[in-house]
Structure 1
């Protein structure tokens, strides 16, 4: 098993996890408990494993959102719904959404859960706050909800490692996002809207990247692409530590792939295209 396996797992885990952000069942569940608007649901739902986290912790863990954007939702969200309430509804709603999008998800869960839970237990948690917080949550009794929770923990394990790689290369949140946009060819205005950065702040980040030779007047440079490739390769290698020596993990990937494809083909989950995972 090499680091390519970790990237293949990511491509499959991401759409299964991301129903929590886009599926009507999940958006409706957050609204029903009092969370106001998409972004309050996003920040509260994803950070709820921390408890009633303050904005600085969420900014640090989520990394590429502008602090202004976080502070519009956190800590106000906890005045509308407690973290315990949010945790309860996010798992149930995600399981409901997965059952609707992938009719065979229960069978996939039965086959995949032993290895996924073993991976969650075996994965190193040092320096990975979102993963560690999700791993500490009780395992749900419902197998599809349990599947979603395990997928979420492993997804956050990879994301925490990715942030570590960005920091090791001296990239702040704005620079990392601007370099990603340049490398993937996604419009800067899309990311400014989704992550809360102003045009001036984005331009300043691009200027800092240009000073390092990672961007120039025509876009990303050869050095910039090499750095992005290195970061992705290191992210894969760190993510692989969750799967090394886990029994039947290759069979688990095969078992989950049809469900991930079914979710992706609904068009409801948009994050794989934004993140550049490719098709599961």
Structure 2
């Protein structure tokens, strides 16, 4: 088969819906909050930061996650580890995600394609080097589940965090800060920054200062939208992100990549239909 897109971009479109399950299926938050957590953001940080263990400071998690506003991580870490443990959070997150996927996929969850895709994705994910990828490396140290749906979700999550670590590198190379990354993305899809979910809650003065800084660098115009330079910066970030995400897929042959794409297509389509974005 001939594919005009880079492999990493082609696979991102198929893998990302699986990696997004913790954030779009209620079962994950419900399982985590049953541990005694206070709200969905507690659940987010408990589930995603758990591979680092209970003693890593909020400042370190803030640095690795990259795109949270100052102080947001510290509102949840380390307090969540007074309420539960990283081991319990990892187990609850996995259990909730599997339940959410099974609800959405129905009979497809037990199709042999799920197990096949999980094995290929896992081989790709575990072939990638961990150097320079803190979150991916931490997740690599977590035991791999055996149940096919859980295995597929875990492999997709590994690849999502591998890509995310590379995306941070691409943003830093372009000089785009964490909050700026949200503004850049919002404007690139035609949404005013103050309406974008990840930054709309920030104080107006704080968000305006970010926008003003990007305007002063020529990324945003007087009309509030991206300039040609801003659009070019966004394209360079995405291109480098794709390039840095290629390594895992080199472990698979072209025929295996085609089989993987075929197996993932209905799974991803079902997830997208349930949670369009």
2: CA distance, partners of 1:193 / 1:253: 31
Aligned counterpart for 2:268 among listed residues 260, 264, 267: 260
SS at match of 2:71: helix
Matched, 1:130 2:135: yes
* Residues 130 and 157, structure 1, Cα contact 8 Å, conserved in 2: yes
Aligned counterpart for 2:45 among listed residues 43, 46, 66: 43
SS at match of 2:72: helix
Matched, 1:72 2:78: no
2: CA distance, partners of 1:93 / 1:242: 26
In the alignment, structure 2 segments of 5+ residues that lack a partner are none
1: CA distance, partners of 2:271 / 2:198: 25
* Residues 3 and 240, structure 1, Cα contact 8 Å, conserved in 2: no
Superposed CA offset, 1:1-36 (max 9, x none): 776321121122222122212312112101111111
1: CA distance, partners of 2:4 / 2:198: 36
Report how many residues are paired: 269
Change (3 A) 1:197 1:19: same
Superposed CA offset, 1:162-184 (max 9, x none): 00000011111122222222211
2: CA distance, partners of 1:175 / 1:196: 15
1: CA distance, partners of 2:57 / 2:145: 26
Stretch moving more, 58-67 or 179-188: 179-188
Superposed CA offset, 1:13-63 (max 9, x none): 222122212312112101111111011001111111111132112211211
* Residues 27 and 38, structure 1, Cα contact 8 Å, conserved in 2: yes
* Residues 182 and 199, structure 2, Cα contact 8 Å, conserved in 1: no
Change (3 A) 1:3 1:158: farther
* Residues 16 and 148, structure 1, Cα contact 8 Å, conserved in 2: yes
When the two chains are superposed, the root-mean-square deviation of aligned CA atoms in Å is 1.8
Change (3 A) 1:209 1:15: same
TM normalised by structure 1 equals 0.90
SS at match of 1:244: helix
CA shift at 1:243, angstroms? 0.5
1: CA distance, partners of 2:175 / 2:156: 29
Stretch moving more, 52-61 or 163-172: 52-61
Question: 1:149-188 residue pairs with structure 2 within 5 A?
Answer: 149-188=154-193
* Residues 19 and 98, structure 1, Cα contact 8 Å, conserved in 2: yes
CA shift at 1:245, angstroms? 3.6
In the alignment, structure 1 segments of 5+ residues that lack a partner are 274-280
Matched, 1:97 2:100: yes
1: CA distance, partners of 2:39 / 2:241: 32
CA shift at 1:253, angstroms? 2.0
CA shift at 1:235, angstroms? 0.5
1: CA distance, partners of 2:58 / 2:70: 8
1: CA distance, partners of 2:64 / 2:195: 22
